[in-house]
Amino acid sequence: MADVAAAPPRAQHNWSIGWGDAGPFLALAALVAIGYLINPDFLSANNIANVVTRSAFIAIIAIGATFVISSGGLDLSVGSMAAFITGVMILFMNTVAPSVGTAAIPLGMAVALVTGIACGLLNGTIVTVGRIEPFIATLGTMGIFRALITYMTDGGTVAIDRSLRDAYRPVYFGDVLGVPIPILVSLAVALVAAYVLYRTRYGRRCVAVGANEDVARYSGISVTRIRITAYVIQGACVAIAAICYVPRLGAATPTTGLLWELQVITAVVIGGTALRGGRGRVWGTVAGAVILEFIANLMVLSDFVSEYLVAAVQGVIIIIAMLIQRMSKR
């Protein structure tokens, strides 16, 4: 993945944007149509709202991962990091709640953001300054974050203080004009991310570094700074996801966020971002996250998949979604 020097620099053809980027949305549309045929309840407003809301965590984290991956990096620690941030946030809020009341919630959100940025900075520094392969570096921090959350919870559960529970609940379960808040948050994150990636100098440099590190360096781009920033964006996204996640079950456990990293990477790749870097698609990533959650939902709503085979069918559908995405690019 870091061996981008061997890959030929790929030109960005403006004319290819259009059909080429429609792939994940075509796959999503196909899935919705199939879902409706299997079980008409699939398209009920309630079900759609539930499923899209659920996909928000993965979508938000995956938007961050779009930056890391398009810059030629990888972050395996996001699931553990989400659990760790959740734990830090809950413990902090429970500590200050007796003295500041519900003001503990915005303070907790700030603490979560700072923690996330710090975690991202740590990952980015190890990868760039430490010159360690992103796969190994973030595999290491993945273990570290997971162990820390297990330590903080004594292996059990840390639950949010009862006095904060009801005040915080709307952040996951509430809605504005009928649209659940987590969906609005992920849309806002996607809008900002799309602007940064497509319209700013940082975004273009990020993709350039992923396309060819050496060429980017010769053109005077600070590869280290670009990469660290990508990991910091990732950390901030994980923190935002954690902020939306905490009110759902109101607790952190050692199994929180388990294997989210794989879902995140899958969402990013289904969305059209190149796993080897050099190409990032923010809206495709969001579609990818929704596709994954729709697939899981359909497995339950349909009656013809044995409970033992669910994972296999999911795997097949993911591969088919990738093929649709690929073919639409040609």
Partner 1 sequence: MLRNALIAAGVTAALLATGPASAAEKKVIAVSIPAADHGWTAGVVYHANAAAKEINKAFPGIEVIVKTSPSASAQVSAIEDMSATRKMDALVILPHSSEELTTPVKTIKEKGTFITVVDRGLNDPHIQDLYVAGDNIAVGFNTAKFLVEKMGGKGNLVVLRGIPTVIDDERIKGFQDGIKGSDLKILDIQYANWNSDEAFKLMQDYLAKYPQIDAVWANDDDMLLGVLEAIKQSGRKDIKFALGGNGMKEIIEKVKAGDAMTPVETPYPPSMIKTAIYLTAAHFAGHAPVRGALKLDAPLITKDNAEEYYFPDSPF
Binding site for partner 1 (CB under 8 A): 39, 41, 44, 46-47, 50-51, 54, 147, 150-151, 153-157, 159, 173, 248-251, 253-256, 258, 296-297, 300-301, 307-308, 310
Among residues 35 and 72, whose Cβ is nearest to partner 1?
Answer: 35
Task: Please report where in the chains the tokens 């010769």 appear, as a residue.
Answer: 218
Question: Residue 156 CB, nearest distance to partner 1 (Å)?
Answer: 3
Among residues 150 and 186, whose Cβ is nearest to partner 1?
Answer: 150
Among residues 145 and 231, whose Cβ is nearest to partner 1?
Answer: 145
Question: Residue 321 CB, nearest distance to partner 1 (Å)?
Answer: 19
- Are 288 and 21 spatial neighbours (Cβ–Cβ below 8 Å)? no
Among residues 114 and 310, whose Cβ is nearest to partner 1?
Answer: 310
**Cβ atoms within 10 A of the Cβ of 186, count?**
29
Question: Residue 272 CB, nearest distance to partner 1 (Å)?
Answer: 26
Question: Residue 193 CB, nearest distance to partner 1 (Å)?
Answer: 24
Task: Please report where in the chains the tokens 């796969």 appear, as a residue.
Answer: 135
Give the Cα separation of 68 and 60 in Å (integer): 13
**Cβ atoms within 10 A of the Cβ of 319, count?**
9
Question: Residue 154 CB, nearest distance to partner 1 (Å)?
Answer: 4
Give the Cα separation of 123 and 125 in Å (integer): 6
Give the DSSP letter string of 209-230: HHH-HHHHHHTT--HHHHHHHH
User: CB neighbours of 144 closer than 8 A, spacing ≥ 6?
Assistant: 77, 80
Among residues 298 and 318, whose Cβ is nearest to partner 1?
Answer: 298
